Amino acid sequence: MFIVDVSTTGELGAKSSENIFGPGNLLSLEIWGGDLKINKLIPEGTLVDSGDYVASIDQTEVMSKLKDIETELEKLRIAVHKDNARHFAHTKSSTQRSDKS
């Protein structure tokens, strides 16, 4: 009897696999795959159909980005309101001056 011992390095690939994509709208929030954490994942080997639940994503990063966006939106609303008030005041004073002439 003899023993053959083979050592090698490399990368194994699955014989068959499917790509799974997360919610597409995360990119619009500038959330990249590396920023996400998976909360729950169905057991390996579970048979699924297209559209079936396979995982849930930790929403901490999404909620943080959403809060940042809401804060920025509120700042913009305040700025627009101030600008409109300033424009209205300027228009009103211009109208009053031309009425006096």
Give a yes or no: residue 8 inside a domain. Answer: no
Tell whether 10 is covered by a domain: no
> Which pLDDT tens digit goes with each residue over 20-70?
777 777 777 777 666 678 889 999 888 888 888 898 888 888 888 889 989
- The answer to whether residue 55 is domain-embedded is yes
What is the count of structural domains for the chain?
1
Residue 6, in any domain of the structure: no
**Cut 0.75: pTM above it:** no
Q: How high is the pLDDT of residue 74?
A: 96
CB 36 within 8 A of CB 22: yes
- Assess whether pLDDT exceeds 80 at residue 8: yes
Is 96 inside any structural domain?
yes
Domain that includes residue 47, residue range? 24-100
Contacts of 26 (CB under 8 A, 6+ apart): 32, 36, 62
For residues 67-86, average pLDDT: 93
Nearest CA among 18, 24, 22 for reference residue 46: 18
